[in-house]
Amino acid sequence: MDRSASPGVGDRCARRHGPHDTVTGVSGATRTLGDVSTSVRRPTRRAAAGLAARVAAGENPIGRARRVNRILRALAEAYPHAHCELDFATPIDLAVATILSAQCTDERVNQVTPALFARYPTPADYAAAERTELEELIRSTGFYRNKATSLIGLGAAVVERHGGELPATLDDLVKLPGIGRKTANVILGNAFDVPGITVDTHFGRLVRRWGWTTEEDPVKVEHAVGALVPRRDWTIVSHHVIFHGRRVCHSRKPACGACTLAADCPAYGLGPTDPGEAAALVKGVEREHLLELAGITGDGP
Ligand code: SF4
């Protein structure tokens, strides 16, 4: 599938980012930084401090709902092709891939799973797997002994309790070996079309930075965000937030100066605000599109 940015998105954004917005305290004057041309919609220092102070003091519900909606719209525009980055064809494939993704990159998991899925197409096949052979197939994902135990236990439990079919409810899924609430929500949202919020490390970090919640516990984060976002959008919003966390809003050095959410983010300034420096931190195949949305062009490859 072509995951590149849709033509025309940049045009819509060029209109959205006016040269100067005195209402929101956003400055967007075009300037040149070396060979980097910017017309970035970034908050002024005063506006950024004001938003951070309002959020810290307890933002009023209407103001927060509007800010949440602006962030949701900007994320949808930034990541029109957001999707589960684990490859799978069936619910059991996705359950297995998600278990393997613990302490491992999705890219690595996707290298391992074609051979794995071909060798073990059903839960019954995992239940009957020869441990040494299974461990060898998943070794490169790390913690392979524990993961093999989970996969064999998962297969056996699905066969014994659910007639060999992965169940489609949160209550049933979380009782299966190797499947916690996060994994269950990934499976529900992506294999069964049941809306689910996936609170992984990226999701928790970003929604706290945006002041959507102060909770650290993933279940509390899930409920807090669930109250702010329409239920039908839970799965796609999870993808949008995780995409942004992987590409722009990094854990240690977020690319604030190249972030399309800057005007609505109380954590703006946590990372570099200089557009050129920030642009260098943006990752992924959508990079050019993301920089265009942020008003940055011509920073090279
Ligand atoms: S990159 Fe900076 S401005 Fe953007 S969401 Fe993260 S902390 Fe906020």
84 annotated as ligand-binding: no
Q: Match 């491992």 to its residue by tokens.
A: 104
- Choosing from 55, 243, 246, 265 the residue with most ligand 1 atoms within 8 A of its CB, the one to mutate for a pocket test is 265
The tokens describing 291, both together, are 């920089």
Is-contact 258 278, C-beta < 8 A?
A: yes
Q: Match 């017309």 to its residue by tokens.
A: 39
Angle at 26 between CA 25 and CA 32, to 5 degrees: 140
Give alpha helix (H) positions in the chain. Answer: 9-16, 45-58, 61-78, 91-100, 106-119, 123-127, 131-138, 144-162, 170-173, 181-191, 201-209, 218-226, 234-247, 275-279, 287-293
The tokens describing 133, both together, are 């052979």
In three-state secondary structure terms, 27 is strand
- Measured in whole angstroms, the distance separating CA 218 from the mean position of its chain's CA atoms is 14
Q: What is the DSSP letter of 286?
A: T
Q: What is the DSSP letter of 264?
A: G
Q: How far is CA 283 from CA 202, 205, 245, 249, 260, in A?
A: 15, 18, 10, 10, 14
In three-state secondary structure terms, 38 is strand
- Catalytic hit among 147, 182, 264, 299: 182
Q: DSSP letters of 88-122?
A: -SSHHHHHHHHHHTTTS-HHHHHHHHHHHHHH--S
Residue 234, pLDDT score: 96
- Catalytic hit among 125, 200, 233, 274: 200
Report the CATH superfamily, name and number, of domain 91-191. Answer: Hypothetical protein; domain 2 (1.10.340.30)
In three-state secondary structure terms, 83 is coil
Q: Which of 49, 117, 1 is closest to 265 using CA atoms? A: 49
209 Cα–ligand 1 center, Å:
7
Measured from the Cα of 255, ligand 1's closest atom is: 1
d(CA 292, CA 296): 5
Q: Which of 273, 272, 206 is closest to 241 using CA atoms? A: 206
Could you list the pLDDT tens digit for every one of the 301 residues in the chain? 333 333 322 222 222 232 233 233 444 433 333 344 445 568 888 899 999 999 999 999 999 999 999 999 999 999 999 999 999 999 999 999 999 999 999 999 999 999 999 999 999 999 999 999 999 999 999 999 999 999 999 999 999 999 999 999 999 999 999 999 999 999 999 999 999 999 999 999 999 999 999 999 999 999 999 999 999 999 999 999 999 999 999 999 999 999 999 999 999 999 999 999 999 999 999 999 999 999 987 654 4
182 in active site: yes
104 annotated as ligand-binding: no
Ligand 1 pocket check for 249: Cβ under 6 Å = yes
Residue 39, pLDDT score: 52
Give the DSSP H or E segment for 21: strand 20-21
Query: Residue 71: left (phi > 0), alpha (psi -120 to 50), or beta?
Result: alpha
- Domain spans of the chain, in order of start: 91-191
Q: Residue 68 contacts by C-beta under 8 Å, 6 or more apart in sequence?
A: 210, 212, 228, 229
200 in active site: yes
